[in-house]
């Protein structure tokens, strides 16, 4: 988590689950086919064209992420599961779920 803080400057609370129980419960994707998916290459080319250059890889490259906006209480306001590497939630949808 220190490297995440160093790169992002984020000083708030962070939580990790090395057992991956939360990852599995959330139904997030895992596998080489997700990392080397045709969509991953397209997203990579688009990012490169916009000037993004990938730095050092951190974490497990075959573990895909997601975005969840939770609360109040046990309400799930928004959920997104990346289908492949580079498949990210539309930020406008995430921000709208926070309102």
pLDDT in tens, 56-69: 777 788 899 999 99
Domain ranges of the chain: 19-98
Q: In the prediction, which pLDDT does 96 show?
A: 97
Alpha-carbon separation of residue 16 from 13, 23, 63, 68, 84 (angstroms): 10, 10, 14, 15, 21
Mean pLDDT of the residues in the chain: 91
pTM: 0.77
Residue pair 87/98 in contact by the 8 Å Cβ criterion: no
pLDDT in tens, 6-39: 989 999 999 889 999 999 999 999 999 888 888 8
Measure the CA–CA gap between 69 and 26, rounded to whole angstroms: 12
Q: Residue 1's CB: how many other CB atoms inside 10 A?
A: 9
């Amino acid at each position: 988590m220190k490297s995440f803080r160093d790169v992002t400057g984020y000083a708030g609370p962070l939580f990790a689950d090395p057992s991956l129980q939360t990852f599995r419960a959330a139904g997030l994707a895992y596998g080489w086919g997700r990392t080397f998916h045709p969509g991953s290459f397209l997203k990579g080319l688009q990012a490169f064209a916009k000037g993004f250059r990938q730095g050092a890889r951190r974490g497990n490259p075959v573990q895909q992420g997601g975005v969840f906006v939770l609360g109040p209480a046990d309400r799930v306001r928004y959920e997104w599961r990346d289908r492949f590497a580079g498949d990210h939630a539309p930020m406008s949808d995430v921000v709208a779920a926070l309102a």
